[in-house]
């Protein structure tokens, strides 16, 4: 097979590249990445000799045309940080919506076997109780989640209008190696390693479901290869934790004092809780392999042992 992975130099993307190299060692793996601040060649250093790398923008038709035909196209390329979307929504609309449209047009006019759109549980909006199912109404709260919901609507429209073979995955909060230090877990780990204060929005009671990145990668591969055409699939870890619990766990693992916790003003439109019903994925035979505590310990150890990877990024940790 020829497998194209856009955004493959980013956090989830680079882990997915490694997963697919193991899963399909005889396949051709092509990575298209713009190499923005969060997409780094360092994330792929150990596998560059086993892939074809194209530096390009998914919003550029000329760049996208360089990927040619393929059996599977996984679109991980996106702007993903909620805080950044609040400050500059236009960048998110361009990449997440217009970029997805450019890729869909490529898939429509080329031989692309299946188009797999990587989305997020945030498209459902805040869930006070129960669990979001794939057929639930999308109610995005932030410019980021709205841009991902918009991209999903385009994917669904291309499936209906043009008969494009598509699958959408909606995963919960990922964590693990190579995550750029702007999301909660890597920021808190790196600040704790430096004995800096750990800022928590509001009262820290916002709840997220956490999934170790390699479990999500396996889920995306399973949904992309075995899922029903035109369907969406929730991929969650079943690990609901408040932000405060996450931070206290990190401090405990790194043997740092709780006095480092600092409560700060909440961000606008901060959803209270996300939670996913993943029964459709279980029907495909997928389940997460990692216990939360094992995974968070692995993650803390990875950052502690990989200073050369994160040292150039320390100025961005805020």
Per-residue pLDDT of 169-220, as tens digits, reads 999 999 999 999 999 999 999 999 999 999 999 999 999 999 999 999 999 9
Contact between 92 and 109 (Cβ < 8 Å): no
Summarize pLDDT for 264-280 with one digit per residue, the tens. 999 888 889 999 999 99
| Residue 85 confidence (pLDDT) | 84
Please state, rounded to an integer, the average pLDDT across all residues of the chain.
96
Among 79, 121, 152, 271, which one carries the catalytic annotation? 121
Among 124, 131, 144, 158, which one carries the catalytic annotation? 144
Percent of residues in the chain assigned helix, strand, coil, to nearest 5? 45, 20, 35
pLDDT surpassing 80 at residue 68: yes
The pLDDT confidence band at residue 83, using thresholds 50, 70 and 90, is: confident
The pLDDT confidence band at residue 86, using thresholds 50, 70 and 90, is: confident
Q: Which CATH architecture has domain 2-174+211-235?
A: 3-Layer(aba) Sandwich (3.40)
pLDDT surpassing 90 at residue 88: no
| Residue 257 confidence (pLDDT) | 97
Place of tokens 């945030």: 122
Q: Where are the domains of the chain?
A: 2-174+211-235, 176-208+239-271+290-316
Among 122, 182, 218, 240, which one carries the catalytic annotation? 122
The pLDDT confidence band at residue 314, using thresholds 50, 70 and 90, is: confident
pLDDT surpassing 80 at residue 234: yes
Looking at per-residue pLDDT, the higher value among 161 and 270 belongs to 161
Q: Name the percent of the chain lying above pLDDT 90.
A: 92
* 221: Cβ contacts below 8 Å, ≥ 6 apart: 16, 19, 20, 23
Contact between 43 and 9 (Cβ < 8 Å): yes
Token pair in block for residue 131: 């669990």
Strand partners, 120: 171
| Residue 55 confidence (pLDDT) | 98
Q: Would residue 122 show up in a list of annotated catalytic residues for this protein?
A: yes
70 three-state secondary structure = strand
Specify the DSSP class assigned to residue 218: H
| Residue 102 confidence (pLDDT) | 98
Domain 176-208+239-271+290-316 has CATH 3.40.50.720: no
163: left (phi over 0), alpha (psi -120 to 50) or beta: left
Nearest to 100 by CA among 159, 183, 12: 159
| Residue 76 confidence (pLDDT) | 98
| Residue 318 confidence (pLDDT) | 62
| Residue 272 confidence (pLDDT) | 94
Q: Would residue 274 show up in a list of annotated catalytic residues for this protein?
A: no
Listed range (84-88, 158-162, 314-318) with the worst mean pLDDT: 314-318
Chain-centre distance for alpha carbon 92: 14
Summarize pLDDT for 20-39 with one digit per residue, the tens. 999 999 999 999 999 998 99
Q: Would residue 63 show up in a list of annotated catalytic residues for this protein?
A: no
Looking at per-residue pLDDT, the higher value among 89 and 13 belongs to 13
Token pair in block for residue 276: 């996913």
């Amino acid at each position: 097979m020829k497998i194209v992975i856009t955004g493959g130099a980013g956090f989830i993307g680079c882990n997915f590249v490694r997963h697919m190299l193991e899963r399909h060692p005889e396949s051709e793996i092509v990575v298209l990445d713009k190499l923005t601040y969060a997409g780094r060649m360092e994330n792929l250093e150990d596998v560059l000799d086993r892939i074809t790398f194209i530096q390009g923008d998914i919003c550029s038709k000329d760049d996208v045309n360089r990927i040619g035909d393929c059996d599977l196209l996984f679109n991980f390329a996106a702007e993903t940080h909620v805080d950044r979307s609040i400050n500059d929504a236009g960048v998110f609309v361009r990449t997440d919506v217009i970029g997805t449209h450019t890729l869909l047009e490529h898939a429509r006019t080329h031989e692309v076997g299946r188009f797999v759109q990587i989305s997020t549980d945030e498209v459902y909006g805040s869930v006070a109780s129960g669990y979001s199912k794939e057929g639930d109404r999308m109610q995005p709260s932030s410019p980021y989640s709205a841009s991902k919901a918009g991209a999903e609507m385009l994917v669904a429209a291309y499936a209906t209008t043009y008969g494009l073979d598509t699958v959408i995955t909606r995963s919960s909060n990922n964590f693990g190696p190579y995550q750029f230090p702007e999301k909660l877990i890597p920021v808190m780990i790196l600040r704790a390693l430096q004995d800096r204060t750990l800022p928590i929005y509001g009262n820290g009671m916002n709840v997220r479901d956490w999934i170790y990145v390699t479990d999500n990668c396996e889920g995306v591969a399973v949904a992309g290869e075995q899922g029903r055409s035109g369907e969406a699939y929730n991929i969650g870890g079943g690990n609901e934790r408040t932000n405060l619990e996450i931070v206290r766990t990190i401090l405990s693992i790194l043997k740092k004092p709780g006095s480092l916790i600092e409560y700060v003003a909440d961000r606008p439109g901060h959803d209270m809780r996300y939670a996913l019903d993943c029964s459709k994925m279980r029907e495909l035979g997928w389940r997460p392999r990692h216990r939360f505590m094992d995974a968070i310990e692995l993650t803390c150890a990875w950052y502690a042992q990989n200073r050369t990877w994160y040292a150039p990024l320390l100025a961005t940790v805020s």
